[in-house]
Structure 1
């Protein structure tokens, strides 16, 4: 209930206008210096920064709303609309609706801003807390979707506020959406495929992938439509996300980034198998790119035709280093086996050369002379009957 002393003031249109405007300014000041300040004191005592981001970004919308709401109230004050040269509709058009429009635009801007700030914060904390250094690469996608939603909703609200019929716009947007869907179905498929890969957590930047189609490399960029792999030849390959969502993708970096390396080698029968195993394990332990956890192992896998078959099993810290580590281990195996007198058998072929003399060649049967009666030779026998000449 308002005091009775304000009755004459509210009855006067200018007094009512002044009272509403002063009350709006006071409400904005209270919102700014009391409500927001207490909210900030509360958020400073919490362990998370998310509530501080929300309060800091909603500070201006709250103060703006409290300060401008009085302008829209003027259109409903009888003393203002009845005793001035402006009608209620005119007061609403020139004062009320502009104030509400400003409030809607300010809220749209800062709601978009607060969500983007929260997404950025989540992305940074997720990257710092994940053992794989994982960043939420698709987080900007959700920010873009939210921005588009806020723009569309804010525009529609302003148009409705000013009593514009948006039905034709909605119909045109629906038709445009259908046409755009057909025209950009591949892009839409790549976008949805990228979202599916993100939700499934198939890979992230820095992972080494092998694709069924033959491509292999380290992930250097993850976009809305495509993923870029950098091969060992330092060549970037861009693959559509829809293809990666359909093909079989082997992530050699997951879950811990280490990849098992197996090297098969054969030793001669009669070799000291204890020495062979000690030498193989020692070679792997001396290699700096091979971690000691899990420890390297030497396995006696079978009896070959000409060798005892061994397998050295160790782990490599990065899958793209497997070729380099295999090269160094093979060299060291060959050199240390030679130092310890361990023989690596290999296939041999014996070639026997036989010397043949003339005396050892048997006489051939004489060739029978041809019988002219049986096999006449028209060239050698001039009397032979010749075929008649054609006319």
Structure 2
């Protein structure tokens, strides 16, 4: 019969069961060797069992310290984790991945030490193993490039440190220095993003120098990559270069209100490949950078953030047009967000078939407040028209004008 679902297996109930079974097997072997007269072999097994038990306990304690220490030190809620998330800009998921990598590397090192200690008494000398590891560690030089474990580790460490310093400075620019200047948020984002790209490039160059890749060799690598770009990476390269153009020309900046095709919204982030636009219904529109560079984009706030408000109303032919103009101007001037310069104006737009048409034009300092201000003006105009007994006619089809034959 199978165990019930959720029930613990014997190995799960007692994690020491495999070690206990191995001990029993070793005791049986030692006893059999002693009975058969192989006293030296039995003594050898006992001594190795004692040494390996002590070594296993020590390595187990080291493993526990490393596993729990890495978890406690780099946890996103720990002081170090909070600092890395806040100051460096690392994501919580990246911290979790770093913890797993550190724990995995520590266990690999512990397993190497354990394997060396176990195999040495059986004729596999640690010097031979370390000699093999040393050859792999220091590696071989091929064409001026050193391919070895040590050079790769050094390159990875240098790249990580350079990228870490770049992210620290980039986060400092974005959160501390640039907000204290008179630069708008779009310019600040362009500066910090371009600095991040430059820092990543410097990190790659420094890491390449650790394995012997100089500028000439990087040029050869770039030439090889150009072939790959020509075959299958044209779109990615085009979008990346377009992203650099957007950051440099600043025709579209973070925080701008743009219209792309049938969608419009605010630019939230310009990435290496695409730009994130938050639409007015709070959705995120992912637009390739090349589309923003080569296509038609309407930017409401490129030169300034001043927005225009247009309110059109229809009144009956018998209405007092002077009173209509005055109440529309009064409704616009009553709003605190409407600019005094340029002053609101009312235009007598048209003699319609069934109504007189007027247009109110005014401006606000920030286009993001235009729709709300327009709504307040509409409420106020309707209230004033009802108080002044000015009628808004309904469309009349089949009659050109009142009194017309």
Q: TM-score, normalised by structure 2?
A: 0.50
What is the CA deviation profile of residues 106-135 of structure 1, one whole-angstrom value per residue up to 9, with x for unaligned ones?
Answer: 999999899878766766655443364434
Q: Does 1:216 align with 2:245?
A: no
1:270-289 alignment runs, 5 A limit = 270-289=318-337
What is the Cα-based RMSD across aligned positions, in Å? 3.8
Q: For the Cα contact (< 8 Å) 1:112–1:146, is it kept in 2?
A: no
- Matches of 2:393 and 2:378, distance apart in 1: 15
Q: Does 1:139 align with 2:188?
A: no
Deviation, 1:180, is 4.5
Q: Relative to 1, partners in 2 of residues 1:256 and 1:128: Cα closer, same or farther, differing over 3 Å?
A: farther
* Aligned residue in 2 for 1:129: 181
What is the CA deviation profile of residues 145-185 of structure 1, one whole-angstrom value per residue up to 9, with x for unaligned ones?
Answer: 4334434544565556xxx9998886455324431554332
- Matches of 1:330 and 1:159, distance apart in 2: 70
Q: Relative to 1, partners in 2 of residues 1:256 and 1:306: Cα closer, same or farther, differing over 3 Å?
A: same
1:1-150 alignment runs, 5 A limit = 125-130=177-182, 132-150=184-202
Secondary structure of the 1:197 match is: helix
- Matches of 1:133 and 1:140, distance apart in 2: 11
Deviation, 1:317, is 4.2
- Matches of 2:215 and 2:275, distance apart in 1: 39
- Matches of 2:183 and 2:388, distance apart in 1: 42
Out of 355, 375, 379, the residue aligned to residue 307 of structure 1 is 355
Q: For the Cα contact (< 8 Å) 1:141–1:224, is it kept in 2?
A: no
Out of 234, 254, 274, the residue aligned to residue 302 of structure 2 is 254
Q: Relative to 1, partners in 2 of residues 1:341 and 1:156: Cα closer, same or farther, differing over 3 Å?
A: closer
Q: Relative to 1, partners in 2 of residues 1:329 and 1:165: Cα closer, same or farther, differing over 3 Å?
A: closer
1:353-368 alignment runs, 5 A limit = none
- Matches of 1:269 and 1:287, distance apart in 2: 28
Secondary structure of the 2:353 match is: coil
Deviation, 1:284, is 1.3
Q: For the Cα contact (< 8 Å) 1:219–1:228, is it kept in 2?
A: yes
- Which of the pair has more CA radius of gyration? 1
- Matches of 2:222 and 2:255, distance apart in 1: 40
Secondary structure of the 1:254 match is: coil
* Aligned residue in 2 for 1:202: 251
Q: TM-score, normalised by structure 1?
A: 0.52
- Matches of 1:150 and 1:200, distance apart in 2: 23
What is the CA deviation profile of residues 269-323 of structure 1, one whole-angstrom value per residue up to 9, with x for unaligned ones?
Answer: 3433222111001111223443434332212223223333211011244434444
Unaligned 5+ residue runs, structure 2?
1-150, 400-405
Q: For the Cα contact (< 8 Å) 1:209–1:216, is it kept in 2?
A: yes
- Matches of 2:293 and 2:317, distance apart in 1: 50
What is the CA deviation profile of residues 191-216 of structure 1, one whole-angstrom value per residue up to 9, with x for unaligned ones?
Answer: 111111222211222221112x1110
- Matches of 2:193 and 2:297, distance apart in 1: 23
* Aligned residue in 1 for 2:236: 187
- Matches of 2:282 and 2:159, distance apart in 1: 45
Q: Relative to 1, partners in 2 of residues 1:178 and 1:128: Cα closer, same or farther, differing over 3 Å?
A: farther
Unaligned 5+ residue runs, structure 1?
1-100, 352-391
- Matches of 2:323 and 2:183, distance apart in 1: 39
Secondary structure of the 2:199 match is: helix
Q: Relative to 1, partners in 2 of residues 1:348 and 1:170: Cα closer, same or farther, differing over 3 Å?
A: closer
- Matches of 2:392 and 2:184, distance apart in 1: 41
Query: How many residues are matched?
Result: 245
- Matches of 2:196 and 2:173, distance apart in 1: 15
- Matches of 1:217 and 1:166, distance apart in 2: 43
Q: Relative to 1, partners in 2 of residues 1:256 and 1:145: Cα closer, same or farther, differing over 3 Å?
A: closer
